[in-house]
Chain A
Amino acid sequence: MKRNKIFGSIALLSLILTGTITAQIGTPFIHDPSTIVECEGKYYTFGTFGGGLISEDGWTWNGGAERPGRGAAPDALKIGDRYLVAYSSTGGGLGGGHNGKILTMWNKTLDPNSPDFKFTDPIEVASSEGMEDCDAIDAGLLLDPTTGQLWCTYGTYFGFIRMVELDPKTGKRVEGNEAIDIAIDCEATTLMYRNGWYYLLGTHGTCCDGANSTYNIVVGRSKQITGPYVDNVGREMLKGGGKMVIAAHDRVTGPGHFGRWVIDEGVEKMSCHFEADLDQGGRSVLGIRPLLWKNDWPVAGEKFKEGTYEIESERRGYALELVVDFVRMPRGPRGFNRDNDEPIVPVPSQKLEDVISTWPTGNINVRIGDYMFRPHQKWTITAVPDAGGYPGGPYYKIVIEGTERALAATAEAEVITVPEFTGAPEQLWRIDQLIDGTYRIMPKVVPNSNKKLALISIGDSTPTLAEFDMNSDNSKWNFRNH
Chain B
Amino acid sequence: MNIKQKTFLLALSSLFLGVSLLQAQPGGDGRQMDDPALYDTTGRSIAEYFAPATKEKMTPDADGFIQRWLLLEPINKPNRSNTVFTDSYLRKAFDTLYFPNQFTILPKDGEKVKVGDNDLAWHALDSKLFNVKLFRFAYGLNKPIYGVIFWAVTVVNSPEEMENVRMAVGSNSASMWWLNGDEAVLLSGDRRMVMDDCVSPRLTLHKGKNVIRGVVINGPGMSDFCVRFLDEKGEPIKNITISCE
Contact = CB atoms under 8 A, between A and B. Distances in A.
Interface of A: 323-326, 328, 335-337, 367, 369, 412-414, 458-462, 464, 466, 472, 474
Interface string B193-213: 010111111100000000000
Contacts, number: 47
B199 A458 contact: yes
A325 B201 contact: no
Contacts of A460: 194, 196-198
Contacts of A474: 234
A336 B83 contact: no
B5 to A, nearest CB: 10
A335 B14 CA distance: 11
Contact of A462 (B9, B89, B188, B199): B199
B201 A459 contact: no
B87 interface: yes
A53 B198 CA distance: 47
Q: 4 tightest A-B contacts by CB?
A: A459-B199, A325-B86, A462-B199, A458-B199
Contacts of A414: 201
Contacts of A369: 189
Contacts of A328: 83
A460 B196 CA distance: 7
Given A325-B86, A325-B89, A459-B199, 18 more contacts: A325-B88, A326-B189, A328-B83, A337-B10, A412-B201, A413-B202, A414-B201, A458-B166, A458-B234, A459-B196, A459-B197, A459-B198, A460-B197, A460-B198, A461-B187, A461-B198, A462-B198, A474-B234
Nearest to A328: B83
B4 interface: no
A309 B180 CA distance: 39
Contacts of B232: 466
B9 A326 contact: no
B6 interface: yes
Interface in B159-191: 166, 168, 185, 187-189
B10 A461 contact: no
Interface residues of B, number: 26
Interface of B: 6, 9-10, 13, 83, 86-89, 166, 168, 185, 187-189, 194, 196-202, 230, 232, 234
19 contacts: A323-B87, A325-B87, A325-B88, A326-B189, A335-B13, A336-B6, A412-B201, A412-B202, A414-B201, A459-B168, A459-B199, A460-B194, A460-B196, A462-B185, A462-B198, A462-B200, A464-B199, A466-B232, A472-B234
A160 to B, nearest CB: 51
A259 B115 CA distance: 71
A177 B234 CA distance: 52
A364 to B, nearest CB: 11
A324 B168 contact: no
Main secondary structure of the interface of B (DSSP, over half): mixed
Contacts of A413: 202
Contacts of B83: 328
A458 B6 CA distance: 41
A322 B83 CA distance: 18
Contacts of B198: 367, 459-462
Nearest to A457: B199
Contacts of B10: 336-337
A460 B230 CA distance: 14
A414 B185 CA distance: 14
Nearest to B9: A336
Contacts of B200: 462
Nearest to B88: A325
A417 to B, nearest CB: 15
User: Which of A460, A461, A464 counts the most chain B CB atoms within 10 A?
Assistant: A461
Nearest to B187: A461
B156 to A, nearest CB: 19
A423 B187 CA distance: 32
A326 B196 contact: no
A192 B35 CA distance: 69
A459 B197 CA distance: 5
A322 B230 CA distance: 24
Contacts of A325: 86-89
Nearest to B169: A459
A451 B4 CA distance: 61
A369 B186 CA distance: 13
A353 B198 CA distance: 29
Contacts of A326: 86, 188-189
Nearest to B5: A336
B200 to A, nearest CB: 8
B121 to A, nearest CB: 33
Contacts of B199: 458-459, 461-462, 464
A336 B12 CA distance: 12
A50 B84 CA distance: 69
A443 B196 CA distance: 24
A474 B232 CA distance: 13
Contacts of A461: 187, 197-199
Contacts of B196: 459-460
A325 B89 CA distance: 9
Contacts of B168: 459
Nearest to A456: B234
A168 B7 CA distance: 78
A464 B201 contact: yes
Of listed A337, A369, A413, A458, residue having the most chain B CB within 10 A? A458
Contacts of B202: 412-413
Contacts of B185: 462
Contacts of B197: 459-461
Contacts of A336: 6, 9-10
Nearest to B197: A460
Nearest to B168: A459
Contacts of A323: 87
A466 B232 CA distance: 9
Contacts of B189: 326, 369
With a 10 A CB-CB cut-off, give which of B166, B185, B196, B200 has the most chain A CB atoms: B196
A302 B200 CA distance: 35
A319 to B, nearest CB: 13
Contacts of B194: 460
A337 B7 CA distance: 10
Nearest to A315: B196
A324 B234 CA distance: 26
A273 B127 CA distance: 63
Nearest to B191: A461
Contacts of A464: 199, 201
